[in-house]
Amino acid sequence: MQRAPAAVENPSPFDPFQCIGITRNFAINETALDDALIEASLRWHPDRWVQGTAQEQKQAEKNMAQINRAFGILKDPLLRAEALLTLFGAPLPTGTDKSASQGFLMEMMELKEEAESAAKNPETLSRFRTRLLTLEVQALEELKPTFESLQEDLVADTLSTVRGQLNRVQYLRRTREGLNLNILLGS
Amino acid sequence: MTELPIFGQDTPQGPILGIDLGTTNTLVAVFDASGARILADANGEELLPSVVSFPKDELPLVGQSALDRARFDPKRTIHSAKRLIGKGIADLKEEQASLPYDLVNAPDRSLACIDLGYRQVNPSEVSGYILAAARSRAAQALKIKREDLTRAVITVPAYFDDAQRQATRDAARFAGLDVVRMLSEPTAAALAYGFEKKEAQRVIIFDLGGGTLDVSLLKLEKGVFRVLATAGDTRLGGDDFDRFLMNLAAEKIQKKTGVDVLRSPAGRATLRRAAEDCKKQLSTSETGTLKYHDPQAGVAWKQEIDWRTFQKGITPYVQRALDACAQVLQDAELNIEDVDEVVLVGGSTRVPLVKAAVSQFFQTTCHDELDPEKVVALGAAVQAGILGGKANNLLLLDVTPLSLGIETMGGTVSKLIPRNTAIPSQAKETFTTYVDGQSAISLNIIQGEREMASDNRSLGNFTLSGIPPMPAGLPQATVQFTLDADGLLRVQAKEQRSGVETEIAIEPKHGLTDKEVESMLQDAWDHAEEDLTQRRLADVRTQLDTVFRSVEKSNSLFSQLSEVQRERLEDAREEATTSDSVTSPDLLKGILDELEDASYPLAEILMNQVAVHAVQGQNLTEFSKE
């Protein structure tokens, strides 16, 4: 399914940082994020508006849905990075990837082969799954300084480098989730 | 917005009730100055059996008096309505086999109804009677007029889908109650426990009831209870344990007597109670007695069951429950060490094997300080306190247990709201046409986790029509899902280019229309619990007559009893013949029970004779005519 271009119906992109009330930054403190969710929820959860007017209740429901959406994005580093990149004005990811480096293309092919052979045995599969997760976490960790520099100075080249790196993370994650599926189907 | 509360917020009246509408029992609680407490009936009884009996040409009975009729009017005495609510008859094939009453499809809908013989009754209506009785009980206990009790927090299993939640709300409307919040049972249990510690902690709620399992993982910090993930099994519970014992007994009885007791509804009902009794004994001691006594069919059988046999029989079910525990941890991306506390909820967690298995799985002692049968109702009352502004320091953040999506080309599902998403939630997706000039887009709303739409629950179809002719792929239909804090779905669709718009609340397919609820309301449910004592007395008397007659019929066999047995039976008969002046149902029930027990040896003799006669080629009917 083709996603409709965001610009058509939503001229300004959703800002999860602003919505939940924390500083716009890739590196975030999990406790601070939880605290922000709690504070926003105490203000807007429909349970706090039971005695309100119908209109207030409707608004509370809408706001809380946005808060939940924002939290869902921010707690996941990949989605958080994507959101930041969009806020920085970078293009959305496309189905076929033109910005992938030669090295990444090689890695993709290797991982694909490895996934096929690992799938034959639950032990190797579980080890491969852990490795993919480690690679994903590492890649996201490595993005931290890059995002710091973008915060200081929005360089177009850096944006497109980050875009490429996020594409790699997405590939890693999709491969890992595909493995989960195999485990479930196999049992 | 199509729906506004029936009872406006402008006239806040009595307190909001917290109701645990259970498969087996229902409890009602309130939150007041001293905290949450269960409301009892005039006799101090807190559990209201979730049973409604519908005698022909009479008003329905609710609770214990209905339960007492189960044995001799099984087809019109409805228990476990919660297992049927919001479901179609196709979903209930397995249940039908173990239910003594008959299910039929409601006309024009995929909704299951119960056939009473003289009329059909909808499971929402059955639950409505139970809720109405709970409301009356609360009014009596609080000394408030019933008209002033119009708002309730009602708990549902976390795994209830949209149709089941809608049907539960219909039941409340039927009882004159506005559901201010539908709360999931495990979350309610967490609220009841409170866990008032300073530092954040993660808590597992393991809730194994009669028919469903819910496992939820919550994070508690600063008075906010946040559900991180929930998993479960809607077809797993203590009833499975009962069924194991029932089948075991039925098999042995058939081997010994040739009678298939499972074939008759009355036999199933009797055996079900026998199995429950045995299971209860096995929760506190090493053996339990399974006994089946039916003087009319000439069957008297009993056997000791030791815990090893029971344990072996239920192990597969316990394993499935542990699988759900593993699932919930995986969903939350946490490990066993990350769990600080484990709470047991639901009557079936009293089974020692269940308790031990869960403790072992999480490597910790489980909390069961609060009565597992009351904890959900207490939690519902705490939530009622929160909503009523009496417990401002607490807040509950829940998730949806099941993914919601739309069927797309090829029969696959496009998920808009994945499971374990925090609620309330809104999500949008844009679809288009695939034929030139297509003027309508049909949307099939799907709830469930499977890849193919047909493997999941369809909540309803709706059509966005009136789209002006355009080439295929050009129209942009934006579909918006709004999942509210009760876990109920609203769907809006809009074609962006033409502005054509439509909105539905997912009701028609499994729920009831307003008109249907109104027409049900005209039935005089509010008289249902009046004159209960008289009714119950009459019911017990009928039972006593039945047993007495069957004893009299066999008086030729008295000589074969031992002296002690005969004396006991004579005494019991004497009591029975002079019982006309007894006005207390409980007293009369005592006389009935004694006569039944005293006639047990007689039934055994009778059964042996049947066996002898059967060998001689005489059948049971001929024998009993003698």
What's the CA gap between B503 and B478, in Å, rounded?
12
Q: What is the mean pLDDT of chain B?
A: 84
Q: Report the topology of domain B532-625.
A: Substrate Binding Domain Of Dnak; Chain:A; Domain 2 (1.20.1270)
Q: Which of B20, B214, B239, B495 is an active site residue?
A: B20
- What residues of B are in contact with residue A68 (Cβ under 8 Å)? 421-425
> What is the strand order of the sheet B213-221 is part of?
B341-345, B201-208, B213-221, B224-233, B395-397
What is the residue extent of each domain of chain B?
A: 17-187+376-385, 404-519, 532-625
Q: Across residues B274-292, what is the average pLDDT? A: 91
Q: Across residues B596-618, what is the average pLDDT? A: 70
Cβ–Cβ of A9/B496 closer than 8 Å? yes
3-state secondary structure chain A: CCCCCHHHHCCCCCCHHHHHCCCCCCCCCHHHHHHHHHHHHHHHCHHHHCCCCHHHHHHHHHHHHHHHHHHHHHCCHHHHHHHHHHHCCCCCCCCCCCCCCHHHHHHHHHHHHHHHHHCCCHHHHHHHHHHHHHHHHHHHHHHHHHHHHHHHCCCHHHHHHHHHHHHHHHHHHHHHHHHHHHHHHHC
Of the partner residues B221, B422, B426, the one whose CB lies closest to the CB of residue A38: B221
Q: Is B340 annotated as catalytic? A: no
pLDDT tens per residue, range B72-82: 888 999 998 99
Q: Report the topology of domain A102-186.
A: Monooxygenase (1.20.1280)
CATH number for the domain running over B17-187+376-385: 3.30.420.40
Q: In terms of CA atoms, which chain A residue is nearest residue B481?
A: A65
- What residues of B are in contact with residue A40 (Cβ under 8 Å)? none
Q: What is the pLDDT of residue B515?
A: 55
What's the CA gap between B48 and B53, in Å, rounded?
14
Cβ–Cβ of B484/A46 closer than 8 Å? yes
Q: Across residues B473-489, what is the average pLDDT? A: 89
Q: How many CB atoms lie within 10 A of CB B143?
A: 6
Q: At what angle do helices B563-577 and B532-553 cross, to 10 degrees?
A: 140
Res. B490: pLDDT tops 50: yes
Q: Is B515 annotated as catalytic? A: no
Residue whose token pair is 């339990």: B288
| Residues across chain A | 187
Contact B167, B112 (CB under 8 A): no
Q: What is the pLDDT of residue B10?
A: 36
Chain A contact present for B474, CB below 8 A: no
Cβ–Cβ of A69/B12 closer than 8 Å? no
Cβ–Cβ of B386/A45 closer than 8 Å? no
Identity (one letter) of the amino acid at B399? V
- What residues of A are in contact with residue B200 (Cβ under 8 Å)? 34
Question: Of residues A7 and A173, which shows the higher confidence score?
Answer: A173
Chain A contact present for B13, CB below 8 A: no
Chain A contact present for B394, CB below 8 A: no
> How many Cα atoms within 13 Å fall on the side-chain side of residue A62?
7
Q: How many CB atoms lie within 10 A of CB B141?
A: 16
Res. B544: pLDDT tops 50: yes
Q: What is the pLDDT of residue B335?
A: 93
Residues 310-369 of B with CB under 8 A from A: none
Cβ–Cβ of B395/A4 closer than 8 Å? no
Q: How far is CA B581 from the centre of its chain?
A: 38
What does residue A6 show for φ and ψ, rounded to 5 degrees? -60, -30
Of the partner residues B224, B397, B425, the one whose CB lies closest to the CB of residue A65: B425
Q: Give the confidence band of B197 by pLDDT, cuts at 50, 70, 90.
A: low
CA torsion sign for B178, B181, B187, B188 is: negative
Q: What is the pLDDT of residue B610?
A: 62
Q: Strand pairing of B17-21 and B224-233?
A: unpaired
Q: Give the confidence band of B422 by pLDDT, cuts at 50, 70, 90.
A: very high
Q: At what angle do helices B514-521 and B162-174 cross, to 10 degrees?
A: 30
Of the partner residues B200, B224, B414, the one whose CB lies closest to the CB of residue A1: B414
Q: In terms of CA atoms, which chain A residue is nearest residue B390?
A: A48
What's the CA gap between B177 and B95, in Å, rounded?
29
Q: What is the pLDDT of residue B7?
A: 37
3-state secondary structure B15-83: CCEEEEECCCEEEEEEEECCEEEECCCCCCCCCEECCEECCCCCCCEECHHHHHHCCCCHHHEECCHHH
Q: What is the pLDDT of residue B551?
A: 84
What's the CA gap between B493 and B505, in Å, rounded?
12
Q: Give the confidence band of A94 by pLDDT, cuts at 50, 70, 90.
A: low
Cβ–Cβ of B222/A72 closer than 8 Å? no
Burial A8-47 (b: 16+ CB within 10 A, else e): eeeeeeeebbebbebeeebebeeeebbebbbebbbebbbb
Chain A contact present for B201, CB below 8 A: no
Q: What is the pLDDT of residue B522?
A: 45
Least confident of A47-51, A68-72, B324-328, B549-553: B549-553
Task: Find the distance separating the first CA and the last CA of chain A, reported in whole Å.
Answer: 30
Query: ∠B493-A68-B456 over CA atoms, to 5°?
Result: 55
Q: What is the pLDDT of residue B513?
A: 56
Cβ–Cβ of A64/B424 closer than 8 Å? yes
Res. B516: pLDDT tops 60: no
Provide the 3-class DSSP secondary structure of residue B13.
coil
Q: Percent of chain B, pLDDT > 90?
A: 40
Q: Give the confidence band of A1 by pLDDT, cuts at 50, 70, 90.
A: very low
Res. B579: pLDDT tops 60: yes
Of the partner residues B388, B408, B424, the one whose CB lies closest to the CB of residue A1: B408
- What residues of A are in contact with residue B12 (Cβ under 8 Å)? 51
What's the CA gap between B385 and B34, in Å, rounded?
11
Q: Which of B91, B95, B161, B185 is an active site residue?
A: B185
> How many Cα atoms within 13 Å fall on the side-chain side of residue A157?
0
Cβ–Cβ of B430/A50 closer than 8 Å? no
What's the CA gap between B214 and B202, in Å, rounded?
16
pLDDT tens per residue, range B393-415: 889 999 998 899 998 877 888 88
Res. B287: pLDDT tops 70: yes
Q: What is the pLDDT of residue B589?
A: 85
Q: Is B294 annotated as catalytic? A: no
pLDDT tens per residue, range A162-185: 888 888 898 888 888 777 555 444
- What residues of A are in contact with residue B425 (Cβ under 8 Å)? 65, 68-69
Helix (H) or strand (E) holding B130: helix B123-142
Provide the 3-class DSSP secondary structure of residue B515.
helix
Q: Which of B46, B82, B125, B242 is an active site residue?
A: B82
Instruction: Please give the structure tokens belonging to residue B471.
Output: 């080439």
Least confident of A134-143, B19-28, B334-343, B405-414: B405-414
Whole-Å CA distances, B291 to A134, B81, B134, B549, B602? 59, 26, 33, 22, 15
Q: How many CB atoms lie within 10 A of CB B548?
A: 19
What's the CA gap between B14 and B470, in Å, rounded?
56
Q: Which of B170, B207, B233, B240 is an active site residue?
A: B207
Cβ–Cβ of B1/A58 closer than 8 Å? yes
What's the CA gap between B542 and B308, in Å, rounded?
40
Question: Of residues A175 and B62, which shows the higher confidence score?
Answer: B62
Instruction: Please give the structure tokens belonging to residue B121.
Output: 């009754």
CA torsion sign for B116, B119, B120, B126 is: negative
Res. B373: pLDDT tops 50: yes
3-state DSSP helix/strand/coil % of chain B, to nearest 5: 40, 25, 35
Res. B38: pLDDT tops 70: yes
Provide the 3-class DSSP secondary structure of residue B611.
helix
pLDDT tens per residue, range A52-91: 899 999 999 999 999 999 999 999 999 999 999 889 887 6
Helix (H) or strand (E) holding B181: strand B178-184
Q: What is the pLDDT of residue B492?
A: 87
Res. A186: pLDDT tops 70: no
Of the partner residues A46, A53, A58, the one whose CB lies closest to the CB of residue B485: A46
- What residues of B are in contact with residue A37 (Cβ under 8 Å)? 226
Q: Is B185 annotated as catalytic? A: yes
Whole-Å CA distances, B279 to B240, B243, B307, B584? 11, 11, 10, 30
pLDDT tens per residue, range B102-141: 998 876 566 889 999 888 899 999 999 999 999 999 999 9
Of the partner residues B200, B422, B430, the one whose CB lies closest to the CB of residue A68: B422
What's the CA gap between B537 and B259, in Å, rounded?
32
Of the partner residues B389, B395, B496, the one whose CB lies closest to the CB of residue A41: B395
Q: Strand pairing of B299-306 and B287-294?
A: antiparallel
Least confident of A33-42, B101-110, B224-233, B350-359: B101-110
Superfamily of structural domain A6-87:
DnaJ domain (1.10.287.110)
DSSP B530-562: TTHHHHHHHHHHHHHHHHHHHHHHTGGGGGGS-
Cβ–Cβ of A47/B396 closer than 8 Å? yes
Question: Of residues B561 and B532, which shows the higher confidence score?
Answer: B561
Q: Does domain B404-519 have CATH number 1.10.287.70?
A: no
Q: In terms of CA atoms, which chain A residue is nearest residue B425?
A: A65
Q: How buried is residue B43: exposed, middle or buried, by Cβ count under 10 Å (0-12/13-18/19+)? A: exposed
